[in-house]
Amino acid sequence: MLPDQSRSFLSPTHPCPTPWNPADMECLTTLSYRSGDLSAYLTEIVRRVNQLLGSDWTIITLCDGGTGRIVVSSIDLDQKDASFSLHGSLAEVVVQSGRSLLLNDDLPDWRNFQFPDSYRGYLGIPLRATDQQVMGTICSFQRQPRQFEASVIKTIESFATRAAIAIENYRLYHQQLQFNEQLSQAIAISTAELKQSQEKLIERERLAALGEFTAMIVHEIRNPLTTIQMGLRFAQKVLTTDIDRQRLDLAVSESQRLTRLLQEILYYAKPQVLQRTNINISQFLADMMCCGQQLPEAAERSIHYVQAFSEIEVIADPDKLKQVFLNLLRNALEAIAPGDTVRCWLTRDTRPDWITIRLHNGGAPIPPELLPQLTTPFCSTKPMGTGLGLAISKRIIVAHGGELEITSSVSGTTVSVHLPIMGYHEFALTISS
């Protein structure tokens, strides 16, 4: 029950122990809640209130629901003493009534409330926000019953108003900081996405222009090259000496290599149009490893394949993926010595809806400075390589929404293909070829 408000403010029987000085309020203007010293601001208010009232203990509390918390105290408190239940407390009376409360133990109803031991007097002032909601209190406790003039209580209410404004502004300030941070992050993400989209658009435009230019160049070269090859084949029929044959065979071989190079350039420059379908990637890779064992590069070499799933599907173009993995297998087989093994395994990616296919060869390591360039056109570690195989493979994987990654060390080179998946059932199966 609330005390009778007519008895809450009693006529004075003792003078105020510390005369009121306007400087007591002016000193607060030197403190700023924005610089993070809200605690110092509130501590100064508590010190001034405690001094002005001549109290034995003064606190500022904040209330949320049924719980109160002491945020500043004129005497040191243990952390465990900072929180308390509002139910039945004097702070609850002040918060619910929204009015200042003066209570001494000479009133008949003061024992109806939780009162700290050894204290006999209490003054509670509400901390009122701008929307008139009470957020907490300034409370002063006296070991002896005390009575204060209404003017003194009004002064303490002024302190409470300053404290409430500081707390509210502090909260709004930090809410604004948090909002600004979230806004900055959102802008950074949007900027990165926009930059990525612009880069993709520029890349598409570049490739489209490159494709048109390449198609024209390939057409212009292919026609005279065909004529040259016809002449070389005719010469093979009429020239019979060994030295002539050797020169012609070399010329024919080089013309064929030039034809393949033109075809690869044209293939790289053309847009990757995918004919997607659902593929059981586990079975697809098992079939690819069997095909890979029949490659000429696999002579005296073996392929060891481990799949961790039996049923796992991706939406992909099977012909394009076959082109990728045949190229990766050829590279891996060419990198190892006779008798060695290329290892391939299918595993779960670090991302939940992705899988990873890795091919590892134990060949000589690739220099670190060369690794980032391997998927760019015309970069190759092979003496007779065109440098377009990995570039084309990467374009195909990226067109599928995936990623191609190459790492190398003294233990060999690993090519990792990351692809998004539809679903999977875990299973362990080992196939040795």
Q: How far apart are CA 42 and CA 32, in angstroms?
A: 11
430, pLDDT greater than 50: no
pLDDT at 83: 83
252, pLDDT greater than 70: yes
**pLDDT above 70 coverage of the chain, percent:** 79
Identify the band that residue 20 occupies on the pLDDT scale cut at 50, 70 and 90: very low
* Least confident piece of the model among 11-20, 203-212, 221-230, 348-357: 11-20
Identify the band that residue 382 occupies on the pLDDT scale cut at 50, 70 and 90: low
Q: What is the pLDDT of residues 31-75, one digit of tens each?
A: 555 555 788 888 888 988 998 898 999 999 999 888 888 989 998
Q: How far apart are CA 305 and CA 412, in angstroms?
A: 17
- Top pLDDT among 281 and 221 is at 281
Q: What is the pLDDT of residues 80-127, one digit of tens each?
A: 668 888 887 888 889 999 999 888 876 656 666 666 778 888 999 999
358, pLDDT greater than 90: yes
CA dihedral 372, 376, 381, 387 (to 10 degrees): 170
Give mean pLDDT, residues 217-223. Answer: 72
pLDDT at 60: 93
6, pLDDT greater than 50: no
- Contacts of residue 278, defined as CB under 8 A and 6 or more positions apart, other chains included, come to 313, 314, 315, 422
Tokens of 91: 């702070």
pLDDT at 242: 79
User: To which residue do tokens 């060695």 refer?
Assistant: 340
153, pLDDT greater than 80: yes
Identify the band that residue 76 occupies on the pLDDT scale cut at 50, 70 and 90: confident
21, pLDDT greater than 70: no
273, pLDDT greater than 90: no
290, pLDDT greater than 70: yes
* Least confident piece of the model among 214-218, 330-334, 346-350: 214-218
pLDDT at 404: 92
pLDDT at 405: 92
211, pLDDT greater than 80: no
Identify the band that residue 406 occupies on the pLDDT scale cut at 50, 70 and 90: very high
Identify the band that residue 379 occupies on the pLDDT scale cut at 50, 70 and 90: low
Give mean pLDDT, residues 189-218. Answer: 77
391, pLDDT greater than 90: no
Identify the band that residue 17 occupies on the pLDDT scale cut at 50, 70 and 90: very low
Reading phi first (left if > 0) and then psi (alpha if -120 to 50, else beta), residue 182 is in alpha
pLDDT at 56: 92
pLDDT at 11: 33
pLDDT, averaged across the chain: 80
428, pLDDT greater than 50: no
228, pLDDT greater than 70: yes
